[in-house]
Amino acid sequence: MSVLSETVDWLTDGDNWSGDAGIPHRVVEHLGYTALTVAIAAAIAIPLGLYIGHTGRLRGLAIAVSGALRALPTLGVLTSILLITGIGLKPSIIALVLLALPPLLAGAYSGLEAVDRSTIDAARAIGMTETQILTKVEVPLALPLIVGGIRSATLQVVATATIAAYVGLGGLGRYLIDGLALSDYPRMAGGSVVVIVLALVLDAVFVALQRLAMGGRATVESAAQS
């Protein structure tokens, strides 16, 4: 029997769809790690990105730091943190947050930078305060790119959250890591399929959210250029 048909068997086996090691429970765990990571990363990166985008300060530093962060191998980071914190949720979430920061940061500041200067000048001219300009003009106009940043961060995290299983947590990575350890390739392939489907579903959700954030405008690109 080929790995392909065995993978189909694994995916359709009722035993794999129930209990703590079943696919639904693993998906919930996986989404939990993803949501927690993106929430923490967004709480750090979006305010920082808005500050950079609004004031134009620290921009060079932000680009350099997020570039460096993008180059970090997540598994290496995880292992290094692990040796300080010990096993548990903390090392995995820290490593994943580092992965999620650059796209969120870039989405926030580039979103603000894409707002037409004359619009901002006009807002200032009619007497809006800096806070009002940020919240009533810049953020609404930048929203599609900010959501775009969240979208790309979420996709990276949902695909990489499989490493949580490396240090004893659950999530869909359990199928990959346990499958590899036991040379159970159908389980690995089946687990990968579930991760892919989950990523595609999340991406579709974000496409819808981004359309919503666009309001009446046609595309993200035209919003950025406007």
If binding is defined by CB under 8 A, does position 79 make contact with other proteins? yes
CB 32 within 8 A of CB 90: no
If binding is defined by CB under 8 A, does position 1 make contact with other proteins? no
- Residues 94, 98, 198: CA angle, nearest 5 degrees: 85
Tell me the closest approach of the beta carbon of residue 169 to other proteins, in angstroms: 9
Binding part of the chain for other proteins, among 43-51, 149-157, 174-182, 190-198 by CB under 8 A, reads 174-182
If binding is defined by CB under 8 A, does position 46 make contact with other proteins? no
If binding is defined by CB under 8 A, does position 174 make contact with other proteins? yes
Closest CA to 47 of 144, 139, 145, 114: 139
If binding is defined by CB under 8 A, does position 172 make contact with other proteins? no
Residue 75 CB partners (closer than 8 Å, separation 6+) = 95, 163, 166
Binding part of the chain for other proteins, among 5-13, 61-69, 85-93, 117-125 by CB under 8 A, reads 85-93
Binds other proteins by CB under 8 A, chosen from 50, 177, 189, 223: 177
Binds other proteins by CB under 8 A, chosen from 47, 86, 140, 215: 86
Positions 150 through 169 that interact with other proteins (CB under 8 A): 165-168
Tokens of 11: 């995916």
Q: d(Cα 194, Cα 189) in Å, to the nearest integer?
A: 9
Binding part of the chain for other proteins, among 26-34, 121-129, 144-152, 177-185 by CB under 8 A, reads 177-185
Tokens of 95: 């490593």
Residue 147, exposed/middle/buried by CB under 10 A (0-12, 13-18, 19+)?
buried
Helix extents (H) in the chain: 3-12, 23-55, 59-71, 74-85, 89-113, 117-125, 130-132, 139-160, 173-181, 185-214, 220-225
Count of residues making up the chain: 226
Binds other proteins by CB under 8 A, chosen from 61, 87, 196, 207: 87
Comparing CB distances to other proteins, the nearer of 83 and 125 is 83
Tell me the closest approach of the beta carbon of residue 37 to other proteins, in angstroms: 20
Tell me the closest approach of the beta carbon of residue 33 to other proteins, in angstroms: 15
- Residues lying near other proteins in the complex (CB under 8 A): 79, 82-83, 86-88, 165-168, 174, 177-178, 181-182
